[in-house]
Amino acid sequence: MITNKVTKAVFELLGDKVPGGYKLPISENKSVPLFLNKDKVTEYPQIRVSPFIHKGDSKYQKHIDQTREHYRHWQYGVFQVDIYAQNLAETQIIYDEITKRLFDFFNLEVVTFNDNRLFENIDDNLYRSREYSLMDDGLFKDIYGIRIKDKILKRVQFKEDLVMNSFFVSKEFLYVETDQNLKDIEIKVLMQGRLFSNGFSFSDNGIHAYYLSKQRNLSSLASNNVERISFDLSILFSKKMDREELPKIKKIGFKKVKAR
């Protein structure tokens, strides 16, 4: 269901996907785990998310695209986010990291490169480039997408998953497997911002905008000396759907009416 997809996307907006869940990096050696509000975990600091405390249709519910074959069902959802830590300063640091992370996801700067001379052929239809890798001192942060003529290459998560017309990128190399001529390659690189773990942008994942409410500093849990900051994260999202079939209309005739 689309609500499950949006909930997973919101968790990744708030933290990196790791084995067993999501964590928000705070520093090189510290990260904060994310939990659903129903999870009973007494580990601090932590972030708890209550999905869809409010949900409804946007007034732009049906937006017909240029093909006239589909429409987008626009909806909004409100997620309550609670930050728990053992002092108020730490809760504020976590909140600041969340706001910076959201800004990165929703403010992308993309540049297109087309220099195919930076590739070496290492096998049949398999090429690699060190210059287009995600090296620490590189010029860009990620690969947003690769197109060769009218063919869009699929991004894979592991080098072993490469198939025809796909690519894999790491800190060492960008690998491209294709039967197309690389002279027509177009590589979209991310100069600023952040992509999801699948290489998609926020809009690729059907999310279009967000809004943060004012934060609420709530009373501490006296028994554990735990401080809490709460705020609402509103998300505008959509799902592409088949256009509803138009009703069949019989031929209509018009009678001439004499003027009185």
Tens digits of per-residue pLDDT, 36-76? Answer: 988 877 789 999 999 999 998 877 655 555 556 667 778 89
d(CA 88, CA 92): 6
pLDDT of residue 248 exceeding 60, the answer is: no
CB atoms within 10 A of CB 149: 11
Domain residue ranges in the chain:
2-106+201-242, 109-192
d(CA 139, CA 144): 14
**2-106+201-242 placed in CATH 3.30.70.20:** no
**Dihedral in degrees, nearest 10, Cα atoms 87, 22, 56, 243:** 160
pTM: 0.81
Q: What single-letter amino acid sits at 48? A: R
Sheet of strand 109-113: strand arrangement:
109-113, 185-192, 142-148, 151-152
Quote the percentage of the chain above a pLDDT of 70.
Answer: 86
